[in-house]
Amino acid sequence: MNNLIQKCSMWPCLSRRNAIRTLTVTLSLQKMAAVQPPDAVLQTEEEIEQFPSRFHNNQADSIMAPGSQAVLSSTPLQVLLYLNSWYFSAFYLAEILMFIYKGILLPYPADNLVLDVVLLLLFLALETLRIFYGWKGNLCERSLSSCVSLFILFPCTALAVYYLLLQTFVLRLEFILSAVLLCFYGLEFLLCVISISAFSRSRVY
């Protein structure tokens, strides 16, 4: 019986309630030793020795349970959104400098210049919202936020096509920058549709 008490004291991983329960069982064994054969006492000792390992296994299962769900967020989409945010910053800065250049050196009509600048400001607001909702929807696995980002992608694409082809004066650098931005949009559209499909199948809203 003294050996059992020493074994119980060597289990620092057990909580206070489990230690009290184990000590109660040990005291009961001491009372049972006088009336039960030695084989029964030894069998009970083996069960007590196995209790810490069972406790550890149950604790490990409870820790691993929350991470058993599959991660649905798209890593390629997240990388594209990150790169697109930096690229659009460079694109927007280049557009401002090119508008200053065209307004000074080219016969730019005042009305057309105002229209292009207003559309450029609108482009900045829409692109910021699109990247924000796309980032949030992908990381949080929310199909609603991803759908909002996908919906905003269409006016952003229309504005990129406008600066690619339809504005009053299109510089070669503007053409290249807008074409690269449209490539980003095409890839993000495909990955966003795939992500929304995965989120919808898992019923995450």
Same structural domain for residues 84 and 46?
no
Measured from the Cβ of residue 130, the count of other Cβ atoms closer than 10 Å reads 25
pLDDT value, residue 126: 95
pLDDT value, residue 198: 86
Per the structure block, which two tokens stand in for 134? 């796309």
Percent of the chain scoring above 70 in pLDDT: 65
Same structural domain for residues 63 and 79?
no
Same structural domain for residues 86 and 175?
yes
Rg (CA), the chain: 33
Same structural domain for residues 167 and 81?
yes
Where on the phi/psi map is residue 122: left (φ > 0), alpha (ψ -120 to 50), or beta?
A: alpha
Query: What is the number of structural domains in the chain?
Result: 2
Report pLDDT digits (tens) over 130-148: 999 999 988 888 888 899 9
Query: In the listed set 33, 67, 101, which residue is the last one of a domain according to the structure?
Result: 67
Q: What is the pTM of this model?
A: 0.63
Output 84 or 199, whichever has higher pLDDT: 84
Residue 106 has pLDDT above 90, yes or no: no
pLDDT value, residue 31: 61
Determine the straight-line distance between the first and last CA of the chain, rounded to whole angstroms: 58
Same structural domain for residues 38 and 99?
no
> Region 75-99: what's the mean pLDDT?
93
Same structural domain for residues 109 and 178?
yes
**Which single residue is written with the structure tokens 């069998």?**
43
Structural domain of residue 134, as residue ranges?
A: 75-201
Report pLDDT digits (tens) over 162-171: 999 988 888 9
Query: In the listed set 67, 90, 115, which residue is the last one of a domain according to the structure?
Result: 67
Q: How far apart are CA 33 and CA 27, in angstroms?
A: 10
Tell me which residue of 191, 120, 195, 126 sits closest to 154, measured CA to CA.
126
